[in-house]
Structure formats: C-alpha cells, structure tokens
Amino acid sequence: MPKHAQLEYRPMHLAETRKIILWSLAWTFLAVTMAVCGAGPASPGPQADLVAPGIWRFHFGDPEPFTPTHFRSAALDSAGLEKMPASPVLPVDPAKITFYVSGRGCSVQLPMESDESIYGLGLSTKLFDLTESENGRTGRRVFLKPTDSPENDLGESHAPVPFYVSSKGYGVFVDTARFVSFYMGNVAPVQAPAETGGGGVQTSIAELYRARTQRVKTMLVDVPAAKGLDVYVFAGPAMLDAVERYNLFSGGGTLPPLWGLGIHYRGYARYGADESLALAARIRAEHVPCDVWGVEPGWQSKTYSCSFTWNTNQFPDPDGFLRQMRAMGYRMNFWEHAFTHPSSPIYEELKPWSGNYRVWDGLVPDFATPQGREIFLKQNRVALFNRQVEGVKLDECDDQPDSAMPWSFPPASAFPSGLDGEQMHSLFGLLYQQTMLTPYREQGLRTWGLVRNSHALAASLPYVVYSDSYDPKCYVRGVVNEGFSGLLWTPEVRDAGSVEDLYRRLETVMFSADAVINAWFIQNPPWDQVNREKNNHGELMPERAAVTEAVRKLLQLRMSFIPYLYTAFNEYHATGKPPIRALVLDWPEDPKVRKLDDQFMFGDSVLVAPMFAGEDRRTVYLPAGDWYDFWTHAKISGGNSLEVTNGVSQIPLFVKGGTLLPLAEPVEFIKPDTCFEITVNRVGGQPAEFTLYEDDGLTMAYSRSEQNQILLHTDGGQPSVRRSGNYHGPDRFKIAGWKTF
C-alpha cells in the first residue's frame, strides 16, 4: 500500500479547542502572508500517492475499515490501466485541497472553477449537470443516500456512487460507505473572498432564499462518522479518460452472456407453473423474441420476507417446470430479496450472522461475513443455483432514508461483521450481488441479472439497476447518467398509459443494458392490453394483433443490434469505456452537450434520442461531423439541432458517419450455438475499422483469452474480415453481406 499522506489531522476534543484556534490563526497568518508577499513556494498541500497511471490517492486521517475498496468486487485492472496514457500532472492542485476532521465526521474541500460542470455521483434519474439548479449555475447539495425513490432532486438514487467526473477532465472518488453529501460549489468558506451581495430589502420569500452563485467555487465533501478518508483522483485528459480509469480501477466493465442482451420478460407474480408455461408457449407461438424469463415472487412459499423455498402449490415440480421452460429456449431468472423469513430452513443458522433488526419479520443477512454469505447461499443453492438458474433479480436492497415509515433496517443497526446500518445500506446491494455471483464464478459461468441497489466500483458486476419509479423522462435520464458512474440501468417497461406510451417506452428499453418487460403485475403481455386493470380482467385490446406485430419488430430491432452491443460491452470490459453514455463524454469540448440529458450514445456510433408519448416531435442535437438517419439513411450535418417527427416504433437513431455498423438478422432467442448472420453497413465515407468479439458467449473463458476478434474494415471500398484469436468453438458471427447506408 502507498504511504500515508504527510498531512494527518486528528479528531478534535474539547481540550484541543484552544490549540485548534491557535493553529487556525497560524494557518490564516501563513496564508495571508503568502498572499500578500506573492512570493515563495505555495503550500504543497497534502501529498498524493500514484496508485496506477493517472490515478492518485490522497490519504487523510484514519479512514474507516469498511469502504468500497475494502469490499472490491474485482481487482484493479492494472493491464488495462497500463495501456492508458500516463498523465504526469495531478489534475487537481493539492495546495487547494483541505481536510478537516471532527467528532461528527470529516470533510474535504476541493477547488472548483467557476465554469466547471460536474456529472455522476450515481444513478440519479432527476439530475444531470450537478452544478445546475433552477436558478442557474448556483451549485447544489447532492445527498448520496440509497433510496427506492430516485425521482428526487437531492441526488439520492438506487446507486449513490461517491465518484464524480468534471468537465475539466478529471474524476474524484471518495472511498466511503457513509451517506456523503457533496456541495457543488455552493458553500462559502470564510477564507474565500467575500461576495458583493447584500442588497436592498426584499418582500418576497422566494427572493430572500433564492440560491446565489458563488464567484469562487469550492467542492465540499461532507462524510459523517469517518475520522479519515482516502480520496482518489483520476486524470483525463478528457472526461471519458477519467471515467475509463475509474472503471478499470473498479476491475473493468462487466461482460454479459450473449443471451443477456436479448429480451427479458418477467411474468405475472401470481402465476404458477402451468400459467407461466402457457404464456411462455404463447410468446413462442407468436414469435415475439424472448431470451430470459423472469419468475416473480410467486415461486416462494413466503415472500416479504422470503423463505427461499418453493411454493409447491403453485410450482409442484420445480425441476419439471424448469425443464419445460428450457425446452422452449428460455433462460431463467428468479426474483428474491435478502430478508429471510422465520419459516426458511436457514433462519436459525443465519440469526447470529444477521443484523439486529428484522425487515418484514425477516433476518437481514450480514453479507460482509463469510458465514452470512455461505448460510444464505446454502438455501439459494438448494432452491435455485443447484438447478442452474441463469440469473436472479435482487429486490428491495435499497432504502428509504427520508421516509417517516421506512420498511428497511434502521441505519442504527449493528451487524456481526462490525458494519453499522448506514454502511450496510450503502454496501448492501454490492455485497448481495457479490454473494449471488459466487455460484456462477465457481462454475466459470457468466450471469446477467437485476438489482435495485448498487454503489461504487461496481463496473464488473453483471447486474443491471432498475426501479419501481416509472417516469419515462427520468428513465431516459437514468440511461444517460449510467455511464458516469460504472453502472448499468434498465428503463423497464410495465403497463402503459396508451399504446403510443408502450411503443415509446419499449423503444427506449431496447437501447438499454437489459431489455426488460416487467409484467409482474399484469397477467398478459402489455401488447395484449396496456391498461393494467383491463389486462388483469382479461379485456384484451381489439388492436392487439397489430400491436404485437409492431412490438415484435421493435424487439427484433434490439436483436439485430446484439453483435454491435456485444462489442461495446467487450470494450467496456477491456478499456472501461461505458457502452451507453452521455454525449458530453464523447464531445467534452462542445458546450451544447453540457446539459443534454435526453440523448445518449449506444456504443461508439449510434446516437439515440428517445421520444415520449404525447409528443409528436422533439429536438435532437447532433455534434459536429456527418450523421445518418438510421431509418431514412439521410445524411445530416452535425453541429446543429434538428426537429424530428419519427412515428411510433421508429425511435430517432443517428449513426455517425465514417463508421461500420454491423447489424444481425434477428433471432427469437439465442441458443448456445446461435450464429448471427450479419450485414455490415458502411456509414459515410472512409469508415473506421470495427471489431466484433466472438467467444462462447456463456462462460468466463474469454477472461482466459478464449476469444476471437473479428476485424471488419474497408480498404478503398473493398470490405475485409479478419478473424483472429483463441476461441475455437462454433462461430457466433457470420458476415453475410456488406451494404452502404
């Protein structure tokens, strides 16, 4: 481990007050002297240790033992980091960083420039540039608390990640499991020069309390309870570089199994085996693409809290049920949460390895202990993993930090590992994911699942974050934000306000990390009936055949993008580049994308601009360069905004000129030996190379280099395909043809 930084501060006790005052005066005197004299070397500030190329660590005080780096999901990817350009210069001036510790916790102040924008801090679905408020560039406080209600303007989310990235081309990760607050330039340290405010008498409350813009901006990070902190700084030079470094520091991005990129349908929660099989068969009969079948709570004898034993009234023969579903080609995903019901066979054994408060009468397993993990897994193996289920959905692992009637465990909880309830709430989703990933890793298999809470250094985890909230614009903003924080997000589709709403929602989810249709509270697929009550009364829409046909096409569109998306994920794994990301990461110099929170890049060359029900047009901004409309192939010059009026099921998509876009013949579902028939589209002149990544699509063999790279390129109009690598299984991709857009 690198040495500690030179400046170490201690907790302040009453007796030390006078000493601290003297110190403050001394520091002030020093600072004033230096400022007045304008000579001599500046205070060097705390020392930073180089952790990896372009990553520095500041070590302040006495950090807590239980932080995200203590519970790493994967080792830092040093090979990947070595490939990044080293940045010799620390991108933040250490002389402007200060640390303070008190009995309450500790805080760090970092410098900010007045025109600096900040992004990230997890999966907010409401905020984007965190220095913006309704009053302009006033800055704001962002609260990093895990919540089940992400549509808030406090920055609380399903995945509150203490990592942010700056428009100035650097990132900062605060290694803590505390509910941190970040003040984005809206605090006024006494040392900073005074503003020139304090004007006339106001007679309006709104005017009195209006947020004001600071001339000199400071980032304040407020960490409760901790007496010390490691703060990591990630160099650019561009924002995307900083994000990539953070993701490689996290172990690199996750690589889904190929089938994980297909369509994911979750059945009605009250359905037993027979009804599930019948619906699954109908979906096959109607040729609606579907790879993953999700079984909601009904499979368990007790839920809220969970028994992790099968409800044999509903599912009298679990093995038979699974066999029949698999015979139809479905991969199986099972819902659960961690709270363990008294009737579960592991209850008594788990009790000493649980928190000291129950949730819905269930134990809260301490996943920070090997015993807690193993006892919990034991019953999950019996029920699920020994049956080779391909994935799980990990529900209810978030919190309601600001609720008068919270359902989860109190932050004051104690766990045998030594974690308290606040730390556990921050880490609960991470630790739960790690636990449930174990059986797959033991078998060298990949999985793809869902989780309702995540946190820092999560890039390597094969779980996609989802929510109960359902605002379509917020859902899109989640997609736009996910790439800043090493996270994946699905704007899942449930019921809909109208057929148009169904199409628009489906369009967006097709361009997300997990194409989930979550019909947990409707008996029939939403394309049979969008209205929840009617759906559950069996009143299907008269136009359901036409809707099914349109939906089928939309789902097929997703299926055709799978090879392309698989490349984006392989690069996420190898280089840390997020497969889905905000435009500001690709065009950091373009001021027009700084606030663009309703468009995103899907891979390197496709720009997605979702539309919303009730809006027959939208403005799309295309950055500089040539672009091609995906549907019409019309060429559009970038650097401008345009208005689009795409009809339903034709989501506005724009392909970057000078690229190769491989699109596959859609399949209904992906078998172990599925070989995608690919047409390579030449988009614009002089297209750059494109690499497809080929492997078994199922196991971890790719991590042992059992992988091929299929290099597509054109040389003076002449297409060529070069396959190389160590994967020797059946071909997954066949280049069936080339086309010009």
Subset of residues 242 to 281 that bind a second copy, contact rule: CB under 8 A: 268-270
Residue 453-482 contact track with a second copy, rule CB under 8 A, x = bound: ---------------x--------------
Q: Which of 305, 460, 512, 646 binds a second copy (CB under 8 A)?
A: 305
Residue 140 one-letter amino acid: R
Contact between 538 and a second copy (CB under 8 A)? no
Q: Which of 140, 168, 266, 594 binds a second copy (CB under 8 A)?
A: 140
Integer Cα distance of 411 and 401 in angstroms: 9
Of 1-9, 197-205, 447-455, 544-552, the segment contacting a second copy by CB under 8 A is 197-205
Of 408-416, 425-433, 497-505, 675-683, the segment contacting a second copy by CB under 8 A is 408-416
Residue closer to a second copy, measured from CB, 412 or 546: 412
Between residue 346 and residue 375, which ones bind a second copy under the rule CB under 8 A? Answer: 351-352, 354-363
Contact between 19 and a second copy (CB under 8 A)? no
Residue closer to a second copy, measured from CB, 300 or 560: 300
- H-run or E-run covering 586: helix 583-586
Give 190: exposed, middle or buried? Use CB within 10 Å, 0-12, 13-18, 19+. Answer: exposed
Return all residues near 629 (Cβ < 8 A) that are at least 6 apart.
Answer: 636, 653, 654
Contact between 550 and a second copy (CB under 8 A)? no
CB of 43 to a second copy, least distance (A): 17
Query: What size, in residues, is the chain?
Result: 741
Residue closer to a second copy, measured from CB, 191 or 386: 191
CB of 517 to a second copy, least distance (A): 16
Contact between 520 and a second copy (CB under 8 A)? yes
Q: Which of 38, 40, 41, 197 binds a second copy (CB under 8 A)?
A: 197
User: How many whole angstroms from its chain centre is CA 185?
Assistant: 25
Computed from CA positions of residues 65, 67, 71, 75, in that sequence, does the dihedral angle turn out positive or negative? negative
Give 659: exposed, middle or buried? Use CB within 10 Å, 0-12, 13-18, 19+. Answer: buried
Residue closer to a second copy, measured from CB, 127 or 277: 127
CB of 608 to a second copy, least distance (A): 28
Name the pairing type of β-strands 449-451 and 463-465: parallel
Residue 280-299 contact track with a second copy, rule CB under 8 A, x = bound: ----------------xxx-
Give 18: exposed, middle or buried? Use CB within 10 Å, 0-12, 13-18, 19+. Answer: exposed
Q: Which of 95, 328, 414, 688 binds a second copy (CB under 8 A)?
A: 414
CB of 448 closer than 8 Å to CB of 514: yes
Output the six-digit token pair for 289: 């693409």
Annotate 464-520 with DSSP letters as a single string: EE--S---HHHHHHHHHHHTTTT--B---B---SSHHHHHHHHHHHHTSSSEEEE-T
Contact between 211 and a second copy (CB under 8 A)? yes
Question: Judged by CB under 8 A, how many residues of this single chain contact a second copy?
Answer: 99
Contact between 65 and a second copy (CB under 8 A)? yes
Cis peptide before 623 (omega within 30 of 0): no
Q: How far apart are the first and last CA of the chain?
A: 53
Q: Which of 30, 31, 79, 104 binds a second copy (CB under 8 A)?
A: 104
CB of 185 to a second copy, least distance (A): 12
Residue 166-195 contact track with a second copy, rule CB under 8 A, x = bound: ---------------x-x--xxxxxx--xx
Residue closer to a second copy, measured from CB, 355 or 491: 355
Q: Which of 129, 241, 244, 422 binds a second copy (CB under 8 A)?
A: 422
43: left (phi over 0), alpha (psi -120 to 50) or beta: beta
Contact between 328 and a second copy (CB under 8 A)? no
Return all residues near 15 (Cβ < 8 A) that are at least 6 apart.
Answer: none
Contact between 11 and a second copy (CB under 8 A)? no
CB of 154 to a second copy, least distance (A): 5
- H-run or E-run covering 700: none
Q: How many CA atoms lie within 13 A of 229 on its CB side?
A: 31
Of 421-429, 459-467, 702-710, 719-727, the segment contacting a second copy by CB under 8 A is 421-429
Q: Which of 50, 40, 48, 55 is nearest to 6 (CA)?
A: 48
- Report which DSSP code applies to 549: H
Name the pairing type of β-strands 98-102 and 105-111: antiparallel
Integer Cα distance of 375 and 28 in angstroms: 56
- H-run or E-run covering 526: none
Q: Which of 67, 87, 303, 518 binds a second copy (CB under 8 A)?
A: 303
- H-run or E-run covering 373: helix 370-383
Q: For 493, list phi and psi in degrees, rounded to 5.
A: -105, 135
Output the six-digit token pair for 252: 């690199």
Contact between 440 and a second copy (CB under 8 A)? no
Contact between 304 and a second copy (CB under 8 A)? yes
Q: Which of 42, 79, 412, 624 binds a second copy (CB under 8 A)?
A: 412
CB of 422 to a second copy, least distance (A): 6
CB of 24 to a second copy, least distance (A): 8
Residue closer to a second copy, measured from CB, 20 or 34: 20
Give 400: exposed, middle or buried? Use CB within 10 Å, 0-12, 13-18, 19+. Answer: middle
CB of 11 closer than 8 Å to CB of 103: yes
Q: For 560, list phi and psi in degrees, rounded to 5.
A: -75, -20
Contact between 133 and a second copy (CB under 8 A)? yes
Residue 480-519 contact track with a second copy, rule CB under 8 A, x = bound: ----------------------------------------
Contact between 102 and a second copy (CB under 8 A)? yes
Residue closer to a second copy, measured from CB, 406 or 725: 406
